[in-house]
Chain A
């Protein structure tokens, strides 16, 4: 009988899981999409017929989009946070466990043996890293493209005032960070779905459908104050980072909600996965 040198803490490390996921085509498509978005918008502004409506100086975020790289990036974040980033976050987390089940690799990893909670840990961390990476690539690409296309003017707030360059970085950082936190909501739903089903698209789809349903419920005025209880009620609270001084209240509530919501979803996924019969 031989000693195998098995060490639990060496099973499915984050680094190995990253190596397993990074080469996937969907990872590259996701990153390509968030680079394409600012390119398409710039092309439309520069080459399209001159029509008012975008970057026309209206006193809102989209109206100021062409004011400089920070404004442009904020507009790109606004455009993508509602749908594109939500779907990508749902994809990175929703596909995490379900895709292993669909490739039949899940049973080999678990029999290796990778302890179940360790597998989930690697999946959550890598899913979040990829989501964050996508957000970062969007921000960096938009800043660069915005800078080249519209020059280097500092951030102009639709709510009045122009910030210093240092302040522009700070405000953009706060907005991007908050949008990142908000992505925990679709990510959490998707991760739970990923553990419940063996169909990767089913998990992603379930998360996206649920987020859309939440948005619809959010739009029901009849629910009044009850809407404050919904995840996603504070999705747009980052606009408070554009006033002087930053008004943290809604962002604090929204961020806290998203973190706790994500923790609950991951906890539910963990409890389910602990005892699930792996039949894929």
Chain B
């Protein structure tokens, strides 16, 4: 057992040790593009180069997220280097130790910086070169780095593969979304997230003076201040934002792209991922919707890294091809703890279905037109998602997203007849009017799941903001794209389309108004067909495999069954014949050392010897309980081994009685007989009479005295009156009348042609009971023959004296 655990632990350590350790990182300063339009001095980019053991190798450029630095991707970089890539992790301009200012991945600046990095890699002997000046390189990043990866691939065809995660496609529609189809853009200002985002770029350090713009470039600082103050986008700012939007160059990308989107992301939601996916038309594309994102969700980093590794291996090193399938993570809440995220299963579809799934179900919505209040000042506002709270938002789970009374209209479906898996955006038509003429009516639409108990959950905490340019008492009808969600509604649950007037995360309307809202008549709910779970092996294969393995184990065990080849019985057949028996126990103790003797039939034989002479060991070998080291014991001519059938002709009592303490004496004998596999008459009555227990025979054995158990044990040995009876110290614990009785019983037993072997230290007993004796000492037989012969010529001597003489020092075998 100890060895087993040791092997297990050792195995774990071996498995944990990296197979090819990369070398330590080396720090570099790389000259980037011009500092600004007016200052041509190149910025200095702080970078680390991680080299694998084998060079030259394909390179991976790692770009960090907003507010991070090369340090934030250090762990990833080391991992990629261990996989055999040359990794360049660098700090973007305006962050960390790099110089320059933040221009939000502007093609002139950040993208140009990354191009200088490709130039640098092309000049390094450790990096594989496709052609002069063109390194074999992939670029990977998430969020801010993800946008850079796409933009770089769009502007520079030297990029050979891209992995981009949770990033924007179009900066304007990401930060000022509009989900009312045909309504004016930009939409509603995502104030809370945008301010968090901006603040993380200010780079405040304690003690340093507080500035308005931090390390943002003057253009971008002004743009932010303008948007944050007015809640809308001026043409100049729109121009700036467009330049930094991957969607503008996505059709230029030819390098294979793995595009990730976070289901728990209210900053850059899946609708942004979708915009990129639809714009990348000239490159192999694999889209992955995972359970993480800027709101936290479930961390799937390890799975994503493995997917990316397969992608890069396929496209940089000629590894096994990766199918361009669409993968979407289905999160199941934990049944055991409502605060746990539970488990993630992956649904795989052959093609990317887009925002509205590969099929839609139209569900009828019930509910009259409802009036909702847009409160003055936009407060109190409903809290749906908590930007920047990370895992905290996920922990709060369904406790967020509770509608504010009077501000939400709800339109509810019938209970679902079967479970419904929702993957993508639902679509619904809403009709709105206001009690007064307004510019910029702002509403938030969402799809909620309503439990049987009426409890509502807002999947992923996502809402779709809508800005209606002009609204008055005349109803306006518009199509609304509901949030892109991945959710499961169980049978019996209902879906609700809700329309609210406030949301904590957005710039709400401050003018008060009362709207009349109607949604429906139906909502189109998307679904995606695909295989769930481990794609490589369907579930039913596991039990079948287990069955096969179990049967194989069974067969192996059957083959390993111990086999005994019994030689033909020699004639004449003695009830018990011991020949050259040796038994050496572990540790070298030789309990029996070359013992040989025969027992004649129809006799009572005494087996004598001091403690440790080997009597009990010989008996145990005879019963097949222990294996002899060499030599053998035969019973009626057959060599005994574990389970020898011939043992059914033997009754034994060795080293004290053994009974089930919770059963009566009678029940013990009955069950022992039934367990012994013999079919004859147990002669229970006669045997119990010999035990002489009286009425105690029906009491539990636990209550018996030592002597009673002793007698019951002898009785058990006699069950069915076997041909050979082996009794070890049978007289122990018996009183003189019982001893006398037992003596007669044994003599009578042998008189019927059966054989009895009695081991005893009561020499006078043996003398009175036995016709033959076997005397053992230190594992060998020192005498075997009749008592008469042993005592012959020693008139006046008793067996005791002869015995002591035999076992004393220096005496050889006497026959």
Interface residues of A, Cβ cutoff 8 Å to B = 1-2, 4-13, 16-17, 19-20, 23-25, 57-63, 78, 103-118, 156-163, 193, 196, 206, 223-226, 236, 239-240, 242-245, 247-253, 255-257, 259-260, 263-264, 267, 270-271, 274-275, 277-279
- Please indicate the chain B residues that have their CB under 8 angstroms from the CB of A271 in the complex: 557, 560
Shortest CB-to-CB span from B749 to chain A, Å, is 13
A161 with B493: CB separation less than 8 A? yes
Interface of chain B residues 778 through 813 with chain A (CB within 8 A): none
A278 with B620: CB separation less than 8 A? yes
- Please indicate the chain A residues that have their CB under 8 angstroms from the CB of B490 in the complex: 157, 159-161, 243-244
Write the chain A residue with the least CB distance to B754.
A2
- Please indicate the chain B residues that have their CB under 8 angstroms from the CB of A112 in the complex: 647-648, 672, 675-677
Write the chain A residue with the least CB distance to B713.
A108
- Please indicate the chain B residues that have their CB under 8 angstroms from the CB of A264 in the complex: 553
Shortest CB-to-CB span from B583 to chain A, Å, is 9
Q: List 14 A-B contacts (CB under 8 A).
A: A4-B649, A4-B678, A19-B671, A104-B656, A111-B650, A112-B675, A118-B643, A160-B451, A161-B452, A161-B493, A242-B335, A243-B332, A249-B532, A260-B549
* Cα–Cα, bound, A197→B645 (Å): 27
* Cα–Cα, bound, A58→B678 (Å): 62
- Please indicate the chain A residues that have their CB under 8 angstroms from the CB of B449 in the complex: 160
B549 with A117: CB separation less than 8 A? no
A114 with B675: CB separation less than 8 A? yes
Partner of A111, one of B336, B419, B624: B624
Given A19-B671, A78-B336, check contact A252 B645 (CB 8 Å): no
Partner of A255, one of B332, B546, B647, B676: B546
A256 with B652: CB separation less than 8 A? no
* Cα–Cα, bound, A193→B5 (Å): 14
* Cα–Cα, bound, A259→B553 (Å): 11
B678 with A6: CB separation less than 8 A? yes
- Please indicate the chain A residues that have their CB under 8 angstroms from the CB of B345 in the complex: 247, 249
B677 with A10: CB separation less than 8 A? yes
- Extra pairs beyond A10-B677, A58-B338, A61-B335 (5, CB < 8 Å): A103-B658, A103-B661, A104-B658, A247-B533, A260-B550
A160 with B540: CB separation less than 8 A? no
Given A59-B398, A226-B16, check contact A8 B553 (CB 8 Å): no
- Please indicate the chain A residues that have their CB under 8 angstroms from the CB of B492 in the complex: 161-162
Chain B 705-735, CB within 8 Å of chain A: the 1/0 string?
0000000000010001011000000000000
A7 with B332: CB separation less than 8 A? no
- Please indicate the chain A residues that have their CB under 8 angstroms from the CB of B723 in the complex: 1-2
B338 with A6: CB separation less than 8 A? no
Shortest CB-to-CB span from B702 to chain A, Å, is 10
Write the chain B residue with the least CB distance to A242.
B335
A252 with B335: CB separation less than 8 A? no
* Cα–Cα, bound, A196→B557 (Å): 18
Shortest CB-to-CB span from B751 to chain A, Å, is 15
A249 with B648: CB separation less than 8 A? no
Chain B 326-340, CB within 8 Å of chain A: the 1/0 string?
000000111111100
Whether a CB of chain A sits under 8 angstroms from the CB of B429 is no
- Please indicate the chain B residues that have their CB under 8 angstroms from the CB of A7 in the complex: 677, 679
- Please indicate the chain A residues that have their CB under 8 angstroms from the CB of B680 in the complex: 2, 4-5
* Cα–Cα, bound, A163→B320 (Å): 45
B663 with A23: CB separation less than 8 A? yes
Shortest CB-to-CB span from B306 to chain A, Å, is 9
A278 with B625: CB separation less than 8 A? yes
* Cα–Cα, bound, A217→B623 (Å): 45
B543 with A252: CB separation less than 8 A? yes
* Cα–Cα, bound, A250→B542 (Å): 10
- Please indicate the chain B residues that have their CB under 8 angstroms from the CB of A12 in the complex: 675, 677
* Cα–Cα, bound, A280→B302 (Å): 53
The 4 closest A-B pairs by CB, nearest first: A161-B490, A104-B658, A5-B679, A11-B677
- Please indicate the chain B residues that have their CB under 8 angstroms from the CB of A23 in the complex: 662-663
Partner of B15, one of A16, A115, A226, A260: A226
* Cα–Cα, bound, A259→B552 (Å): 13
Of B302, B647, B722, most buried by chain A (CB within 10 Å of CB) is B647
B659 with A103: CB separation less than 8 A? yes
A260 with B716: CB separation less than 8 A? no
* Cα–Cα, bound, A158→B332 (Å): 11
Shortest CB-to-CB span from A224 to chain B, Å, is 7
Given A4-B649, A6-B648, A160-B490, check contact A239 B336 (CB 8 Å): yes
B677 with A6: CB separation less than 8 A? yes
A159 with B335: CB separation less than 8 A? yes
B671 with A59: CB separation less than 8 A? no
Shortest CB-to-CB span from B457 to chain A, Å, is 8
A60 with B338: CB separation less than 8 A? yes
Whether a CB of chain A sits under 8 angstroms from the CB of B19 is no
- Please indicate the chain A residues that have their CB under 8 angstroms from the CB of B336 in the complex: 60-62, 78, 236, 239
* Cα–Cα, bound, A216→B778 (Å): 52
- Please indicate the chain B residues that have their CB under 8 angstroms from the CB of A267 in the complex: 553, 556-557
Given A113-B647, A278-B625, check contact A256 B542 (CB 8 Å): yes
* Cα–Cα, bound, A254→B670 (Å): 43
A4 with B553: CB separation less than 8 A? no
Shortest CB-to-CB span from A17 to chain B, Å, is 8
Whether a CB of chain A sits under 8 angstroms from the CB of B67 is no
Write the chain A residue with the least CB distance to B649.
A4
B540 with A8: CB separation less than 8 A? no
* Cα–Cα, bound, A114→B675 (Å): 7
Whether a CB of chain A sits under 8 angstroms from the CB of B534 is yes
Whether a CB of chain A sits under 8 angstroms from the CB of B654 is yes
Shortest CB-to-CB span from A227 to chain B, Å, is 10
Given A58-B338, A226-B16, A255-B542, check contact A277 B643 (CB 8 Å): no
Chain B 484-502, CB within 8 Å of chain A: the 1/0 string?
0000111111000000000
A252 with B338: CB separation less than 8 A? no
B655 with A104: CB separation less than 8 A? yes
- Please indicate the chain A residues that have their CB under 8 angstroms from the CB of B657 in the complex: 104
Shortest CB-to-CB span from B723 to chain A, Å, is 6
- Please indicate the chain A residues that have their CB under 8 angstroms from the CB of B663 in the complex: 20, 23
- Please indicate the chain A residues that have their CB under 8 angstroms from the CB of B679 in the complex: 4-7, 10
Chain B 461-494, CB within 8 Å of chain A: the 1/0 string?
0000000000000000000000000001111110
Whether a CB of chain A sits under 8 angstroms from the CB of B561 is yes
Whether a CB of chain A sits under 8 angstroms from the CB of B230 is no
Write the chain B residue with the least CB distance to A8.
B677
- Please indicate the chain A residues that have their CB under 8 angstroms from the CB of B343 in the complex: 240, 250
A1 with B636: CB separation less than 8 A? yes
- Please indicate the chain B residues that have their CB under 8 angstroms from the CB of A16 in the complex: 671, 674-675
